[in-house]
Amino acid sequence: MSSEGFLKEIQVIGEKFLLKLQKLPKAEPVEIVCFSVVLLFIATVLVLTIIACSCCCYSCCGCDGHPDPRHRKSQVRPASH
């Protein structure tokens, strides 16, 4: 997918989302709950992704941005017989 196609797709999704938000006050309670659950799921995934990335970056690089030598991977070589 080209970058223009991707941007167009994001724009279409954004327009649908705004249309859904505009219709939300008139929606049935079940639809409001479903929409809220979907938003909660998206927010949870984003927060967990940010936490995972920050923990991974922190454990690999430490606070100062330099790699921690204790976490260096060692290469495993086959045993010679």
Reported confidence tier of residue 49, pLDDT bands at 50, 70, 90: very high
CA–CA distance, 65 with 57 (Å, rounded to integer)? 9
In a domain? residue 72: no
By residue range, what is the domain housing residue 49?
A: 27-56
In a domain? residue 48: yes
Structure confidence by residue, pLDDT tens digits, 1-25: 688 899 999 999 989 988 988 988 8
In a domain? residue 18: no
pTM of the model: 0.54
In a domain? residue 49: yes
- What dihedral angle (degrees, nearest 10) is formed by the CA atoms of 66, 68, 69, 73? -110
Are 41 and 33 in contact by the 8 Å Cβ rule? The answer is no
Are 47 and 41 in contact by the 8 Å Cβ rule? The answer is no
- Number of domain units in the chain: 1
Q: Give me 61's structure tokens.
A: 């690089």
**Predicted pLDDT of residue 27:** 86
Reported confidence tier of residue 35, pLDDT bands at 50, 70, 90: confident
